[in-house]
């Protein structure tokens, strides 16, 4: 048989590696020799042979044919996922779990709703965020509103206050502010462009430090706004190279659930899909963090039943349980609810009840927490939050949109609160304590809800919106929202670098 020199070299390489190769297999390789990836393909083929085939067995045409199908080489790990390699011994299997639950609202939730509960809730918020503000050097000398109003006109002053209302006139943005003991009007002159930009990014029920000038009457004129914000901090890292996979918004039961992509994801977790680099990453996945909306739910929005493939909430959770059952036993699964799950809508939400999701609890020992929850994995803290309030922030503030949810998450960090505005789309339970204040900054802030995968690092915090596993819905089409589903972000706990794998290809 006549072969080109490059084909001869490839066959020699295989034979020198200790394998025999049948003529039909050589012909098949010869047919695809023009592929640019051939050299890489042969390297992957030899890796496969070393792990799966005794060297005394000849390489057959069928073996090569399967390998061609399985080992098509990717140029970018983040862009493709293909069946093929098998991982023998996952690194994560030999690593002991190290999980600390720092904060779970489930057991803190009680009956609420009376007038005193509302008062206690906002007093708690004001006290907590005031304490955070007073840790800042530029806010420690803030006075009360009463003391500020006792000053003579034109005196400079700092106060800490909560925004009770916000409206605009031709010349001013007018805030009504309160500090529990007293209230006042705060004027923001519109001719100061820089100050106006700051004021437009202040929302109702937010607690801030305000630099102002005492007006001639019972009002103050703002000169600056100081947010509680996140102090500059050193990034924490684990001492072992393991990964946490971050998911959200799976929406089992919806007609738009990406079944094929999610199946590929499950295969990949088991080391049964992906190129060699991707399989290597899969072997290091120790934690699976799901930030809510495991299922699509029932009656969440008008005419939802028309978009459901599974119209029984119990059966939705049964299917979710089947997927979780296929997650390798050494991987820890941690879940919180979202607004589509079978829990109360008001924040904070308790863990998903066994009354609905019993199949999940039966197939695997999952860690089920409320929303929001804070955990620590090998010394790295994660704030898990579904993200319902991102709707309100994005629709309220200028320069934010649904294609950049990480910027809305950044605003929540700056404000040190997960759901600022009471009475909007996000339902908030008026409890005696506000559990939505971000007291201690996390190392990773994970959210979902918006269905758009975005990430950034803000003052040492890895901010990740997880995207979704559901293609564009009719509601999203009407909103003009373009989701980025089927793409998985992973945090390397040792380096704190983020990797992304696309399971849609």
Average the pLDDT over each of 228-237, 399-408, 414-423 and give the range with the smallest value: 228-237
One domain, residues 219 and 237: no
More confident residue, 15 or 298: 298
Question: Cα-Cα-Cα-Cα dihedral of 384, 295, 90, 485, to 10°?
Answer: -80
The answer to the question of residue 55 being in a domain is: yes
* 358 and 336 Cβ atoms separated by less than 8 Å: no
Query: Which residue from 150, 149, 219 is spatially nearest to 185, judged by alpha carbons?
Result: 219
pLDDT band at 15 (very low <50, low <70, confident <90, very high): confident
Give the end of a domain, one of 226, 243, 270. Answer: 226
Beta strands 183-189; 219-226: pairing state: parallel
167 and 263 co-located in one domain: no
Residue 70: the pLDDT is 45
Output the six-digit token pair for 250: 């799976």
**pTM summary value:** 0.82
Does one domain contain both 198 and 180?
A: yes
Least confident piece of the model among 30-34, 204-208, 335-339: 30-34
- Distance, in Å, from the CA atom of 353 to the CA atom of 433, rounded to the nearest integer, reads 23
Give me 33's structure tokens: 């020799």
Q: Which neighbouring-strand residues pair with 502? A: 487
Dihedral of alpha carbons 99, 102, 108, 114, sign: negative
Q: Evaluate whether residue 277 is within a structural domain.
A: yes
State both tokens at 219: 């009002």
Whether residue 169 lies inside any domain: the answer is yes
Q: Kindly tell me if the per-residue pLDDT of 409 is higher than 50.
A: yes
Q: 240 and 218 in one domain?
A: no
pLDDT digits 0-9 by tens, 347-356:
999 999 999 9
Please report whether residue 82 resides in a domain: no
Neighbours of 250 (CB within 10 A): 27
CATH of the domain at 54: 1.10.8
If asked whether residues 192 and 254 sit together in one domain, one would say no
Q: Which residue has the higher pLDDT, 37 or 365?
A: 365
- Residue in 331, 334, 265, 378 with CA at minimum distance from that of residue 90: 331
Same domain, 63 and 172: no
pLDDT digits (tens, 9 = 90+) for 46-92: 666 665 555 556 777 666 665 654 444 333 333 334 444 455 689 99
Higher pLDDT, 171 or 62: 171
Best mean pLDDT range from 18-22, 78-82, 175-179, 476-480? 175-179
Domain termination residue (choose one: 180, 211, 226) = 226
Res. 29: pLDDT tops 80: no
Residues 406, 277 share a domain: yes
What lies within 8 Å, CB to CB, of 197 at 6+ separation is none
pLDDT(6) > 70: no
36: pLDDT strictly greater than 60: no
In a domain, 126, yes or no: no
Q: What are the C-alpha distances in Å from 64 to residues 41, 100, 143, 342, 396?
A: 11, 48, 77, 49, 58
Mean pLDDT of 317-333: 96
Q: Are residues 378 and 474 in the same domain?
A: yes
Phi, psi of 163 (to 5 degrees): -80, 120
Residue 175 included in any domain: yes
CB contact at 8 A, 231 and 485: no
- Tell me the pLDDT tens digit for each residue of 106-132: 998 876 567 778 889 999 999 999 999
Asked if residue 10 is part of any domain, the answer here is: yes
Domain membership of residue 123 (yes or no) is no
Q: Which helix (H) or strand (E) holds 223?
A: strand 219-226
Q: Cβ–Cβ contacts within 10 Å for residue 320, how many? A: 22
pLDDT number for residue 77: 31
Distance of alpha carbon 210 from the chain centroid: 32
User: Within this chain, do residues 216 and 255 fall inside the same structural domain, yes or no?
Assistant: no
Average pLDDT over residues 325-343: 96
User: Domain range spanning residue 23?
Assistant: 5-70
Query: Range with the lowest mean pLDDT among 21-35, 67-81, 292-306?
Result: 67-81
Mean pLDDT, residues 21-33: 70
Strand partners, 13: none
What's the confidence (pLDDT) of residue 217?
A: 80
CATH number at residue 244: 3.60.21.50
Distance from C-alpha of 225 to C-alpha of 162, rounded to nearest angstrom: 12
List C-alpha distances in Å: 405 to 246, 408, 456, 463: 16, 5, 10, 10
Give pLDDT tens digits for 239-253: 999 999 999 999 999
Say how many domains are in the chain.
3
Domain identity same for 199 and 307: no
Cβ atoms of 348 and 370 closer than 8 Å? yes
Are 386 and 468 within one domain? yes
Last residue of a domain, which of 226, 243, 259? Answer: 226
Percent share of the chain, pLDDT over 90 = 72
The verdict on 61 and 24 lying in the same domain is yes
pLDDT tens profile 413-439: 999 999 999 989 999 998 889 999 999
Can you tell me the mean pLDDT for 254-274?
A: 95
Please report, rounded to a whole number, the percentage of residues in the chain having pLDDT higher than 70: 86
Mean pLDDT of 482-493: 97
Tens digit of each residue's pLDDT (9 = 90 or more) over 127-163: 999 999 999 999 999 999 999 999 999 999 999 999 9
The pLDDT score that the predictor gives to residue 117 is: 80
The whole-number pLDDT of residue 45 equals 67
Average pLDDT (169-191) is 94
Q: How many CB atoms lie within 10 A of CB 42?
A: 19
Mean pLDDT across the chain: 88
């Amino acid at each position: 048989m006549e072969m080109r020199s490059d084909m001869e070299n490839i066959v020699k390489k295989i034979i020198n590696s200790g394998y025999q190769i049948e003529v039909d297999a050589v012909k098949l390789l010869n047919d695809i020799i023009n592929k640019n990836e051939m050299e890489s393909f042969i390297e992957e083929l030899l890796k496969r042979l070393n792990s799966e085939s005794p060297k005394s067995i000849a390489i057959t045409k069928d073996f090569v044919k399967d390998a061609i199908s399985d080992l098509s080489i990717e140029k970018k790990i983040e862009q493709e996922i293909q069946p093929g390699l098998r991982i023998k011994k996952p690194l994560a299997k030999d690593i002991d779990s190290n999980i600390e639950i720092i904060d779970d609202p489930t057991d803190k939730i009680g009956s609420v709703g009376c007038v005193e509960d509302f008062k206690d809730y906002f007093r708690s918020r004001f006290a907590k965020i005031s304490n955070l503000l007073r840790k800042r050097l530029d806010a420690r000398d803030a006075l009360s509103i009463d003391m500020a109003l006792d000053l003579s006109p034109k005196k400079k002053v700092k106060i800490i206050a909560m925004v009770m209302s916000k409206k605009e006139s031709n010349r001013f943005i007018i805030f009504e502010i309160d500090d529990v003991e007293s209230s006042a009007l705060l004027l923001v002159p519109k001719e100061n462009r820089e100050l106006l930009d700051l004021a437009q990014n202040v929302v109702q029920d937010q607690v801030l430090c305000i630099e102002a000038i005492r007006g001639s009457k019972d009002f103050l004129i703002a000169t600056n706004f100081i947010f509680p914000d996140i102090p500059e901090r050193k990034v924490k890292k684990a001492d072992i190279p393991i990964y946490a996979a971050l998911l959200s918004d799976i929406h089992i039961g919806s007609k738009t659930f990406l079944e094929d992509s999610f199946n590929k994801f499950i295969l990949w977790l088991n080391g049964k899909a992906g190129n060699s680099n991707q399989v290597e990453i899969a072997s290091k996945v120790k934690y699976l963090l799901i930030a809510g909306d495991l299922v699509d739910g029932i009656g969440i929005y008008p005419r939802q039943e028309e978009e459901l493939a599974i119209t029984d909430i119990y059966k939705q959770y049964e299917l979710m349980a089947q997927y979780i059952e296929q997650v390798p036993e050494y991987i820890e699964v941690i879940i919180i609810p979202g607004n589509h799950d079978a829990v109360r809508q008001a924040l904070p939400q308790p863990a998903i009840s066994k009354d609905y999701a019993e199949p999940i609890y039966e197939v695997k020992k999952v860690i089920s927490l409320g929303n929001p929850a804070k955990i620590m994995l090998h010394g790295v803290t994660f704030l898990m939050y579904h993200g319902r309030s991102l709707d309100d922030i994005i629709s309220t503030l200028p320069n934010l949109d649904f294609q950049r949810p990480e910027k809305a998450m950044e605003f929540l960090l700056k404000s040190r609160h997960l759901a600022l505005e009471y009475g909007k789309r996000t339902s908030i339970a008026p409890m005696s304590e506000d559990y939505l204040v971000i007291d201690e900054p996390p190392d990773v802030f994970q959210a979902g809800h918006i269905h758009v995968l975005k990430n950034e690092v803000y003052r040492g915090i890895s901010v990740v919106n997880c995207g979704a596993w559901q293609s564009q819905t009719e509601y999203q089409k009407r909103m003009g929202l373009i989701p980025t589903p089927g793409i998985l972000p992973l945090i390397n706990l040792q380096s704190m670098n983020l990797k992304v794998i696309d399971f849609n290809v």
